[in-house]
């Protein structure tokens, strides 16, 4: 069986899906993987006693419930809102680089020479988003506290993030 395996929740998705059906993450860039299917024994012994019939009926009901598609939950997408002009920087689910030459809204940062070309990285981890200063010249702050370079710091909605001299509030 060929499928796309989500990097975040490891769910095996059909190759036609561009978003994980379990967690909603972007999987359009994930290369399909071939998964070996387990082969069941064709000669299973079936006990027709009353107790075994009842157990099988309960198991079949449970299997039907498990096979029903789960409702897809969308991850909350974060955004940085500029404290100066209200400009909104949408953070992709997979994260990216903030900076003049970054992968996230570089056009907004390109004229600010205090912001490094690759200032900070924002990533989605199992327990939420993190930010990592990429050895920027003028630093990154979370809620007014300067962060150390190359160290992951958890960020959440409501946090105030500063890249050099640019202040933002993190929102959902």
Mean pLDDT of the residues in the chain: 84
Residue 72 has pLDDT above 60, yes or no: no
State whether 87 and 150 are in the same domain.
yes
Residue 67 has pLDDT above 60, yes or no: no
**Per residue, what are the HEC states of 86-104?**
CCEEECCCCCEEECCCCCE
State whether 96 and 57 are in the same domain.
no
State whether 117 and 34 are in the same domain.
no
State whether 96 and 161 are in the same domain.
yes
What's residue 139's pLDDT? 98
Q: If you average pLDDT over residues 124-143, what whole number do you get?
A: 95
CA distance 54 to 134: 61
Choose between 49 and 102: higher pLDDT.
102
State whether 53 and 89 are in the same domain.
no
Into how many domains does the chain fold?
A: 2
Of 31-40, 129-138, 141-150, least confident by mean pLDDT is 31-40
State whether 132 and 98 are in the same domain.
yes
Distance of CA 74 to the CA centre of its chain: 10
Helices H / strands E in the chain, number of each = 2, 13
Residue 165 has pLDDT above 70, yes or no: yes
Considering the chain, what percentage of its residues have pLDDT values greater than 70?
77
The pTM is what?
0.58
Q: If you average pLDDT over residues 138-165, what whole number do you get?
A: 98
Choose between 36 and 160: higher pLDDT.
160
CA distance 23 to 17: 12
Give the tokens for residue 32: 């399909």
State whether 95 and 143 are in the same domain.
yes
Q: Would you say 119 and 99 are in contact if contact means Cβ atoms under 8 Å apart?
A: yes
pLDDT band for position 121 (50/70/90)? very high
7-61 confidence digits (pLDDT tens): 888 899 888 888 888 888 888 878 888 877 655 444 444 555 555 656 665 566 5
Q: Would you say 129 and 90 are in contact if contact means Cβ atoms under 8 Å apart?
A: no
Residue 146 has pLDDT above 70, yes or no: yes
State whether 142 and 61 are in the same domain.
no
What's residue 53's pLDDT? 58
Instruction: Tell me the residue range of the domain where 32 lies.
Output: 2-38+46-67
Q: How far is CA 38 from CA 1, 12, 19, 110, 142, in A?
A: 10, 15, 26, 53, 48
Q: Would you say 145 and 154 are in contact if contact means Cβ atoms under 8 Å apart?
A: no
């Amino acid at each position: 069986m060929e499928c796309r395996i989500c990097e975040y929740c490891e769910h095996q998705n059909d190759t036609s899906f561009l978003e994980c059906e379990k967690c909603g993450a972007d999987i359009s860039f994930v290369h399909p993987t071939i998964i070996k299917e387990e082969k069941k024994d064709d000669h299973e012994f079936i006990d027709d006693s009353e107790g075994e019939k009842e157990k099988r009926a309960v198991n079949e009901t449970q299997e039907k419930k498990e096979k029903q598609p789960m409702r897809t939950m969308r991850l909350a997408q974060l955004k940085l809102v500029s404290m100066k002009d209200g400009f909104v920087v949408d953070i992709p689910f997979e994260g990216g680089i903030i900076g003049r030459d970054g992968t996230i809204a570089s056009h907004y940062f390109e004229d600010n020479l205090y912001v490094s070309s690759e200032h900070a990285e924002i990533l989605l981890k199992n327990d939420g988003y993190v930010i990592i200063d990429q050895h920027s010249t003028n630093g990154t702050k979370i809620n007014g506290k300067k962060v150390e370079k190359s160290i992951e710091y958890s960020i959440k909605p409501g946090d105030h993030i500063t890249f050099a001299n640019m202040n933002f509030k993190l929102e959902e």
